[in-house]
Chain A
């Protein structure tokens, strides 16, 4: 069995190596796209791009100040919410309705519309029963692209602000959105969809298949255009599964190879963006520093979950059952502990929210780590664009503390970090903490919050905490064990998603607006270098301290107590 563990560890190491190898080409490509340099795809995509500009009346040459950029983004997103809401409310009129899905209720439609627009993809419904093919393709897959595109655009605009000087404009939102979708998300998704299909992921518009099982019961096997949605689900860090079972479903994630590739697809763009950042900063070491901080936290998460799940449940061991394979409850045999731990860490780090195993069945600490990954702010690689954005906020915080410690007004990439930037950075962090703690606390003491629990005690608290964390962090994965399709949760979590996305982005982009105007102070030996091991260590320290101090009590009463109680022989 030791052999199995080594194979698991080897898989994690091979994965890290491949991710490392892909970061540079991915990042270089993204940088070329947004610097409007030549790429291989230009002959195909330039005509399309120009046509879109002409039809929509966009002047690609004009750039926007941060206020215009952000308000354009907000209006675009709110319109998206509205359109998706209408699509969901009118499902009974849709073509391609193999599931015979009815129109969604107002609460569920609101929740789902917000969820897919904020790149959260929290699903209070099961796609195979509650969504038409039309909804899946036109409503959801479209949002999968543009919500990730919005994230990408914002991150690029922020990077521009950091690397430009004495300017006001940070880019054109429409150009960034369109180029991100056309050049980055679309081609990668097409390629990845074909790879998935080659492995057995289905792609059709067929009616559901009726089958008779060996036991003689009738089974309805759902069909659908899965591969196309699956590709962007992962590449765009969306996470909304075609089926309720998400990436645990054999039609979504059939083989250990697809599992491996899906995890890679999750991380490739967020990892590449760190390199893009270095490109814009004209100092690759700046990018690698952020990458290293992310990688260290990622490996810590994988190792933690892998260890917790491999250790299994002591109560089961005590009754004499073999747990050599680890805690396999809620996990797919074809993925095993390592494949599940890798996926679980990646999906919670990256604000994706796709799952290939059920967190509710994880050991308390394993599930707790998944939750902490999200609570840290979705910055360990993080969502497409939003992850880098969050990490940069922490970098600003770290730089501020470092600057004080070396007796110099802090600078990041030569930009002075002053009162205004601190105010906005703190506000962004506060928004996230407030929505996670506030909504979960409200749910933990109200009748409507408590009624949906399937488990009592600390495990029940973890379920509530996880739901609020997942929504505010725009992750979208569910711990399960909580019935969230209620007016209370649909509304509360919908609000948490909106706050977690937009109330976070606005102050962060205000930082961009302030930094773009500043001059870059030249580096000297008195400047604290934001590259190298010391900064990476400090950055990780700041992230962990802020996260730990904010969430320690909640974690203590949820997963930690549950873990201790489990070792004392009690389950919930």
Chain B
């Protein structure tokens, strides 16, 4: 505290940093640097990455770099010694260097996208000034000096200097810098809307915010390191794949070394440069070169969908999820129910029920209440005037009903048991037919509201859940992907069963509480399943932490956001489905390119082996099934193909393999056909074309 120096700069500095936020377009996708804009920086970075200390993290490409250095030495030695093969050896060394650089370029391209975004965010962070409230005085300090527990005052037009909870006041906040959504949101002290994020701007009013994050660990910091790829750690699956690739590299090194022995046995040693060319062609450089780009691009795709994953592990887990827990409201159904029907009892008519229900609902500003007013209009009740002496009765959690007291009579509507007991208190009797009606409405998934006028029960309003459009198809897709969906709802089991049947979910948890939600997660996990869920409230936090993939809504509390391993900036619970797809896509892209990379080797063998041994055993030319022009052109074609294929596949690595919600077997069949069989065939064609080009250019030797 003592080290802080008051800053006398005006708030205008703070206001200026709002500027970048205007560049963010409204909607889901933020504006991004185009590919062409990224190329210059990526090219420079690709060269910087040649530093062996960085290369060693990628064993496959490190081997290529070592090979490049050795073959450069031989090319130089040949030039100095005046040997005949200078052009050939130089070409080998050159293309080996290109192979490494292309791989680095792929990584730099993937990183480049995030970098621009990170720079904008970082600028916002460093230029913000905080109004620190200390001993009743306001002092201005740079936002970077804020500590956990500090209280700051933020007025309209100012940037919120750090993550925290609103402890006093209410304000509208523009969160577009973080979420890309320009419509302002309300933040107020207490409840589930108290969390604010550093870097967002207060549009109106003034709030006091208690800072909840340590310096350097704020949401903005996480976001910066995330989009930059700096915090990227290798995920378990990536590590396993790395091992496979390293293992294959060692096997091929063995192949190359022992080949030299067999060659000496057969009477003609192979030049080291050619041996290195063979080695580089065989080791899985395609996937080795693109692996980190795929990972970065995968995280980037999540950011594009406005989801922040706190770790790559969570993204991978998303691809493996067996069970999705989905909140009914907002995910499966629209946020509110609507009146669908008036059912009269006690000899009243439908019109009577509409009349009385509408009167009861005039003061009810909830969407449900309004839908009752609207439905009643169909019975001709329009432009009614409420007597001035009418007294509205608000809904409370205790009474569980609302209504109106008019001149001479009272009307109540609400939960069946609440309203019936109210009517009974007034001395009324409950008609026999009411119970079956209430139950049938509940059984059909609706919510029955009972309407009573004084001691007479008039009828029942049927409130219905409205399913989100296309939700049933989404669940069908999920089922095809092998994912079980469980609907979480506070409704009673009968209602829940009806809705889950209508929506097509596999199972439901009715009368959900934080405790039984947690229990459900643990039960699923004990069967070896991975569970994903979304949540926003503080009481969701334990379940979010327990779930393998916990997606917190950005509108949610700080506790929820900290417990989850992802935050959805759009606060759209349906997003979970897309997260699962992105997770799967990430793995699939790796798998597809690995298969492709290994399958490529077949053609390369058929190019290089005959080329190497054609002088020792001329009959081996029979294996030159591509009829490549000469041994030199064959070897060059192979390494050129090997280098160019990396560049050719950068777009695929960044975009990801297309995911379709199909069963695993069909998916595998498709991908094996495209990347396995395709991986065998493509290089045969590619090598031949490059060879023809070399001949045409007079470079075939």
Residues of A within 8 A of B (CB): 165, 397, 400-409, 414, 417-419, 421-423, 426-427, 429-430, 433-434, 437-438, 440-442, 444-445, 450, 457-458, 461, 519-522, 524-529, 532, 534, 538, 541, 545, 548-550, 552-554, 556-558, 560-561, 564-565, 567-568
- Residues in B whose Cβ lies below 8 Å from that of A532: 665
B588 lies within 8 A of A407 (CB)? yes
Interface size class of B (residues with CB under 8 A): 35 or more
Q: Which residue of A lies closest to B261 (CB)?
A: A441
B244 lies within 8 A of A409 (CB)? no
B240 lies within 8 A of A400 (CB)? yes
A430 lies within 8 A of B251 (CB)? yes
- Residues in A whose Cβ lies below 8 Å from that of B602: 545, 548-549
Q: Which residue of B lies closest to A457 (CB)?
A: B266
Chain B: minimal CB distance from A364 (Å): 12
Q: Which residue of A lies closest to B481 (CB)?
A: A526
- Between A and B, 25 residue pairs with Cβ closer than 8 Å are A402-B591, A407-B587, A409-B236, A418-B237, A419-B240, A422-B243, A423-B243, A426-B243, A427-B247, A429-B247, A438-B254, A441-B258, A441-B261, A458-B266, A461-B265, A525-B479, A528-B665, A549-B598, A553-B259, A553-B262, A557-B265, A560-B620, A560-B623, A561-B266, A564-B620
- Residues in A whose Cβ lies below 8 Å from that of B529: 521-522
- Residues in B whose Cβ lies below 8 Å from that of A409: 236-237, 316, 319-320, 587
**Given the interface contacts A433-B254, A522-B322, A552-B605, does A561 sit within 8 Å of B619 by beta carbon?**
yes
Which of B176-184, B186-194, B558-566, B668-676 sits within the interface? B668-676
A132 to B202, CA, bound (A): 97
Q: Which residue of B lies closest to A528 (CB)?
A: B664
- In the assembled complex, B134 has its CB within 8 A of some CB on chain A: no
Residues of B within 8 A of A (CB): 236-237, 239-241, 243-244, 246-248, 250-252, 254-255, 257-259, 261-266, 282, 316, 319-320, 322, 479-484, 527-529, 583-588, 590-592, 594-595, 598-599, 601-602, 605, 609, 613, 617, 619-620, 622-623, 659, 663-665, 667-669, 671-672, 675-676
- Residues in A whose Cβ lies below 8 Å from that of B247: 422, 426-427, 429-430
Q: Which residue of B lies closest to A523 (CB)?
A: B482
- Residues in A whose Cβ lies below 8 Å from that of B239: 419
Interface centre among A404, A458, A521 (most CB of B within 10 A): A404
Which of B322, B588, B594, B664 makes the CB contact (< 8 A) with A529?
B664
Q: Which residue of A lies closest to B239 (CB)?
A: A419
B482 lies within 8 A of A404 (CB)? no
**Given the interface contacts A549-B601, A557-B263, does A405 sit within 8 Å of B591 by beta carbon?**
yes
B528 lies within 8 A of A407 (CB)? no
- Residues in B whose Cβ lies below 8 Å from that of A529: 664-665
Chain B: minimal CB distance from A377 (Å): 13
A525 to B482, CA, bound (A): 4
Q: Which residue of B lies closest to A520 (CB)?
A: B528
A294 to B481, CA, bound (A): 31
Q: Which residue of A lies closest to B606 (CB)?
A: A552
- Residues in B whose Cβ lies below 8 Å from that of A534: 665, 668-669, 672
A421 to B617, CA, bound (A): 42
Which of B241, B243, B252, B322 makes the CB contact (< 8 A) with A521?
B322
B594 lies within 8 A of A404 (CB)? yes
- Residues in A whose Cβ lies below 8 Å from that of B262: 441, 444, 461, 553-554, 557-558
A552 to B239, CA, bound (A): 28
**Given the interface contacts A408-B664, A430-B251, A433-B251, does A418 sit within 8 Å of B258 by beta carbon?**
no
A402 to B622, CA, bound (A): 34
A407 lies within 8 A of B668 (CB)? no
- Residues in A whose Cβ lies below 8 Å from that of B671: 405-406
Q: Give me 17 other A-B pairs in contact (C-beta within 8 A), A404-B237, A426-B244, A534-B668 excluded.
A: A405-B591, A405-B667, A406-B591, A409-B237, A409-B320, A422-B240, A422-B241, A426-B243, A433-B251, A520-B528, A521-B322, A524-B484, A525-B480, A526-B322, A534-B665, A538-B672, A553-B262
- Residues in B whose Cβ lies below 8 Å from that of A461: 262, 265-266
Q: Nearest 8 A-B pairs (CB), nearest first?
A: A526-B482, A404-B591, A407-B584, A426-B247, A524-B482, A441-B261, A441-B258, A519-B528
B590 lies within 8 A of A404 (CB)? yes
A556 to B659, CA, bound (A): 40
Chain A: minimal CB distance from B297 (Å): 15
Chain B: minimal CB distance from A408 (Å): 6
B319 lies within 8 A of A404 (CB)? no
B527 lies within 8 A of A407 (CB)? no
A527 to B665, CA, bound (A): 8
Chain B: minimal CB distance from A285 (Å): 13
A50 to B366, CA, bound (A): 80
B266 lies within 8 A of A557 (CB)? yes
**Given the interface contacts A444-B262, A445-B264, A526-B483, does A561 sit within 8 Å of B617 by beta carbon?**
yes
- Residues in B whose Cβ lies below 8 Å from that of A407: 319, 583-588, 591, 659, 667
B664 lies within 8 A of A437 (CB)? no
Q: Which residue of B lies closest to A461 (CB)?
A: B265
- Residues in A whose Cβ lies below 8 Å from that of B250: 430
- Residues in B whose Cβ lies below 8 Å from that of A527: 482, 664
B259 lies within 8 A of A405 (CB)? no
- Residues in A whose Cβ lies below 8 Å from that of B259: 553-554
A434 lies within 8 A of B244 (CB)? no
A408 to B662, CA, bound (A): 13
B598 lies within 8 A of A545 (CB)? yes
Chain B: minimal CB distance from A46 (Å): 37
Chain A: minimal CB distance from B69 (Å): 24
- Residues in A whose Cβ lies below 8 Å from that of B594: 401, 404
Which of A545, A552, A553, A568 makes the CB contact (< 8 A) with B599?
A545
A457 to B265, CA, bound (A): 8
A526 lies within 8 A of B240 (CB)? no
- Residues in A whose Cβ lies below 8 Å from that of B664: 406, 408, 525-529
- Residues in B whose Cβ lies below 8 Å from that of A433: 251, 254
Chain A: minimal CB distance from B474 (Å): 15
B609 lies within 8 A of A402 (CB)? no
B251 lies within 8 A of A550 (CB)? yes
A414 to B586, CA, bound (A): 21
Which of A403, A422, A427, A520 makes the CB contact (< 8 A) with B587?
A403
Which of B590, B622, B676 makes the CB contact (< 8 A) with A564?
B622
- Residues in B whose Cβ lies below 8 Å from that of A528: 664-665, 668
- Residues in B whose Cβ lies below 8 Å from that of A545: 598-599, 602
- Residues in B whose Cβ lies below 8 Å from that of A438: 254, 258
Chain A: minimal CB distance from B478 (Å): 9
Q: Which residue of B lies closest to A426 (CB)?
A: B247
- Residues in B whose Cβ lies below 8 Å from that of A567: 619
A564 lies within 8 A of B263 (CB)? no
B617 lies within 8 A of A565 (CB)? yes
A406 lies within 8 A of B667 (CB)? yes
B617 lies within 8 A of A445 (CB)? no
- Residues in B whose Cβ lies below 8 Å from that of A403: 587, 591
Q: Which residue of A lies closest to B266 (CB)?
A: A557
A402 to B240, CA, bound (A): 14
Interface centre among A418, A419, A422, A430 (most CB of B within 10 A): A419
- Residues in A whose Cβ lies below 8 Å from that of B237: 404, 409, 418
- Residues in A whose Cβ lies below 8 Å from that of B669: 534
A556 to B247, CA, bound (A): 23
B676 lies within 8 A of A541 (CB)? yes
B623 lies within 8 A of A437 (CB)? no
B243 lies within 8 A of A419 (CB)? yes
A437 lies within 8 A of B255 (CB)? yes
A556 lies within 8 A of B613 (CB)? yes
**Given the interface contacts A441-B261, A458-B266, A525-B482, does A405 sit within 8 Å of B619 by beta carbon?**
no
**Given the interface contacts A430-B247, A532-B665, A545-B598, does A564 sit within 8 Å of B588 by beta carbon?**
no
A418 to B659, CA, bound (A): 23
- Residues in B whose Cβ lies below 8 Å from that of A458: 266, 617
A524 lies within 8 A of B483 (CB)? yes
A407 to B589, CA, bound (A): 8
Chain B: minimal CB distance from A393 (Å): 12
Chain A: minimal CB distance from B623 (Å): 7
